[in-house]
Amino acid sequence: MASQNTIGFIGTGVMGSSMAGHLLRAGYPVQVYNRTKEKAMPLVDQGATWQARIGDLAAQSDIVITIVGFPQDVEAIYFGNDGVLANARSGATLIDMTTSRPDLATEIARQASEKGIEALDAPVSGGDVGAREARLSIMVGATESAFNRVRPIFDLMGTNVVRQGPPGAGQHTKVCNQIAIAAGMLSVCESMIYARESGLDPYSVLKSIESGAAGSWSLSNLAPRMLKGDFAPGFYVKHFIKDMGIAIDSARRMGLELPGLNLAEKLYQRLAAAGKENNGTQGLFWLYEQGLQKSETSTQTH
């Protein structure tokens, strides 16, 4: 893909700012929009062009990438008179990298197709570190031709880029990812609190278990943050709760019962109710330290 293609990037938060930065450094002209303008200014300082309206950004971009917080944010960005779909050029490519609803992804793709536009859903995993180091896992729902056309852009942001199927498939894959993380985070928290309470050095325990069968990204990367009391967000609790809600809703539609996911969602809701919704997902460890999980988990046995 020629570097002169202009990319419009909507959503310059914890992850989006790093992702857009990689595109800038690769030589792409990048236009940016964010609800809070100040969060986009570091990219403008690096050479990006600020756009005050979504419609203007869409009209002047060959490729529009969005990564925002919630499905309702995606709807607000894509639909309406000043939205992406109403203003994007014929022949443009739209890439939503938000973790959102599979049915919303397929609806965006359907409406885009009617306008001669291709839309891809490409949610990511890897958190702030993965975004900063361009090591994201990118799960793509798209036609094969659209995927191949924008693959060079994905490769600038991630190292594990997989087309999972047609539009919507990327979001379904991200649901699988979040389900695995949800129950896994409970296990990491429980392992570390047990290590501490049994009198072991949790850091020493990590050295023994992270490279064995218990190993996971969360254990290696988030357990050390937990133990230090570093709950700064790589991925917000409030966004993870949103993701688990999408997963629970999708599972319910398929008639699936996922008790591990349901328990994790309840505990994270409890964490948010304690005023910790803007912490990182590793902040669940705080709940274990406070013993606040006991009253919640005890209800699961009745």
Q: With a threshold of 0.75, does the pTM exceed it?
A: yes
Q: DSSP letter at 97?
A: -
CATH-assigned architecture of domain 172-301: Orthogonal Bundle (1.10)
Report d(CA 113, CA 100) in Å as an integer: 19
174 in catalytic set: yes
Q: Is 53 exposed, middle or buried (0-12, 13-18, 19+ CB in 10 A)?
A: exposed
Ranges of CATH 1.10.1040.10 domains, the chain: 172-301
pLDDT in tens, 240-289: 999 999 999 999 999 999 999 999 999 999 999 999 999 999 999 999 99
Share of the chain above pLDDT 90, in %: 90
Closest CA to 34 of 47, 22, 23, 48: 48
Domain 7-166 CATH class label:
alpha beta
Report the SS3 class of residue 94. Answer: strand
Question: Who's near 242: CB < 8 A, 6+ residues apart?
Answer: 69, 70, 71, 99
44 backbone φψ class: left, alpha, beta (φ>0; ψ -120 to 50): alpha
Q: Is 45 helix (H, G, I), strand (E, B) or coil?
A: helix
Domain with CATH 3.40.50.720 in the chain: 7-166
Give mean pLDDT, residues 141-154. 97
Instruction: Tell how far CA 25 is from the center of its chain.
Output: 22
pLDDT at 1 over 50: no
Read off the pLDDT band of 235 (50, 70, 90): confident
Q: Exactly one of 37, 39, 115, 174 is catalytic; which is it?
A: 174
Q: What is the pLDDT of residues 32-58, one digit of tens each?
A: 999 999 999 999 999 999 999 999 999
